[in-house]
């Protein structure tokens, strides 16, 4: 029996009279790559903030990594990693400084942090580069490093919010190699993207439309269900309907 690492039952989030999340129900399993798609304004960011312990739901039962999103937000934050294209590493600090900084934020002891730093640098073959500024690194390295830093405290779950936006096509694909690697290590990956080819790489994909989950399944089954050639077509079919009501 698969155990859910994220369990969401009837999540509702309202801002005044506006319902941003309207009874979302889904589970995400250990080691799964879970694609969280939706049109702009569909309620993805709201739901993601709740799952990261940054915002409280209006109602519903939610567990993230075994912790309750109402009462155990600090434990949740310590057990998840987060990375986005917009927010990752500090450009004007060196590689080593960034690792130290995030190690501190995640509450690693000096000893743990030093050990992690060595492992991380040797894994990425960056031992010789530790004193280089992030700003001076090629994009591919930055991405790889940002991802590794988000995993520094050994989180069970990693949230990736449009991690590949604006990234060149080769680096974008290398990034998905890291995602697969982490998933093979048992990490659960929760990822948003606007690149529909990337939706094909997920184990399961949910598509949000107007605050609800309009579809959730493996890419293969979604394509069958919506009689679509690829995920782009699935997305267009679902999201286009919603447009009429905007």
Partner 1 sequence: MIKVESISKSYQATKALNRISFEVTQGELFGLIGPDGAGKTSLMRILMTLLVPDEGKASMSGLDVVRDYKQIRQLVGYMPGRFSLYQDLSVEENLEFFATVFGITIAENYELIKDIYVQIEPFKKRLAGKLSGGMKQKLALSCALIHKPEILVLDEPTTGVDAVSRKEFWEMLKKLQQQGITILVSTPYMDEASLCDRVALMQKGEVMEIDSPARIVENYTRTLLAARSDNMNRLIQDVRNWDEVESAYAFGQFIHVTPKRNEMEAVELEKFLMTQKHEKLQVNEISPGIEDVFMALMKEKE
> How far is residue 189's CA from residue 216's CA, in Å, rounded to a whole number?
16
Asked whether position 228 contacts partner 1 by CB under 8 A, the answer is no
Q: What's the sign of the alpha-carbon dihedral 193, 147, 67, 74?
A: negative
CA distances from 197 to 140, 145, 192 (A): 19, 24, 12
Binding test (CB under 8 A) with partner 1, winner from 194, 217, 226, 228: 194
At 240, list the tokens.
């286009």
Binding test (CB under 8 A) with partner 1, winner from 27, 61, 68, 197: 197
Residue 101 or 195: the one with the smaller Cβ distance to partner 1 is 195
Encoded one letter per residue, x for contact with partner 1 by CB under 8 A and - for no contact, window 59-88 reads: ------------------------------
> How far is residue 223's CA from residue 200's CA, in Å, rounded to a whole number?
10
Binding test (CB under 8 A) with partner 1, winner from 27, 97, 200, 217: 200
DSSP string, 104-171: HHTT--HHHHHHHHHHHHHHTT-GGGTTSBGGGS-HHHHHHHHHHHHTTT--SEEEEESTTTT--HHH
Encoded one letter per residue, x for contact with partner 1 by CB under 8 A and - for no contact, window 21-60 reads: -----------------xxxxx------------------
At 78, list the tokens.
């310590």
> How far is residue 219's CA from residue 68's CA, in Å, rounded to a whole number?
30
Asked whether position 169 contacts partner 1 by CB under 8 A, the answer is yes
For residue 217, the SS3 value is strand
Residue 67 or 175: the one with the smaller Cβ distance to partner 1 is 175
Encoded one letter per residue, x for contact with partner 1 by CB under 8 A and - for no contact, window 135-154 reads: ----x---------------
Size of the site for partner 1 (CB under 8 A): 33
Stretch that binds partner 1, among 6-14, 61-69, 124-132, 235-243 (CB under 8 A): 235-243
Provide the minimum distance between the beta carbon of 20 and partner 1 in the complex, in angstroms, as a whole number: 12
Asked whether position 130 contacts partner 1 by CB under 8 A, the answer is no
Residue 32 or 162: the one with the smaller Cβ distance to partner 1 is 162
At 62, list the tokens.
């939610």
Asked whether position 131 contacts partner 1 by CB under 8 A, the answer is no
Asked whether position 191 contacts partner 1 by CB under 8 A, the answer is no
Q: Render the burial of 141-151: b for 16+ CB within 10 Å, e for the rest.
A: bbbbbbbbbbb
DSSP letter assigned to residue 85: S
Residues in touch with partner 1 (CB under 8 A):
38-42, 139, 162, 165-171, 173, 176, 180, 194-197, 200-201, 219, 230-232, 235-236, 239-240, 243, 246
């Amino acid at each position: 029996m698969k155990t859910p690492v994220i369990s969401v039952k009837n999540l509702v989030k309202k801002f005044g009279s506006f319902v941003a999340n309207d009874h979302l129900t889904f589970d995400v399993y250990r080691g799964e790559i879970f694609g969280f798609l939706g049109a702009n304004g569909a309620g993805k960011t709201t739901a993601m903030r709740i799952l990261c312990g940054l915002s409280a739901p209006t109602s519903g039962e939610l567990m993230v990594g075994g912790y309750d999103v109402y009462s155990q937000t600090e434990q949740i934050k310590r057990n998840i990693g987060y990375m986005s294209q917009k927010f990752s590493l500090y450009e004007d600090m060196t590689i080593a400084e960034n690792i130290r900084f995030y190690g501190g934020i995640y509450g690693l002891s000096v000893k743990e942090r030093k050990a992690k730093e060595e492992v991380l640098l040797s894994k990425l073959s960056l031992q010789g580069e530790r004193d280089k500024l992030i700003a001076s690194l090629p994009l591919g390295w930055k991405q790889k490093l940002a991802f590794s830093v988000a995993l520094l405290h050994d989180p069970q779950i990693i949230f990736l919010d449009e991690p590949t936006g604006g990234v060149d096509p080769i680096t974008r694909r290398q990034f998905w190699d890291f995602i697969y690697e982490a998933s093979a290590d048992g990490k659960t990956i929760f990822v948003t993207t606007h690149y529909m080819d990337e939706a094909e790489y997920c184990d399961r994909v949910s598509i949000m439309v107007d605050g609800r989950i309009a579809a959730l399944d493996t890419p293969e089954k979604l394509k069958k269900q919506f009689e679509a050639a690829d995920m782009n077509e699935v997305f267009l079919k679902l999201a286009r309907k919603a447009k009429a009501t905007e």
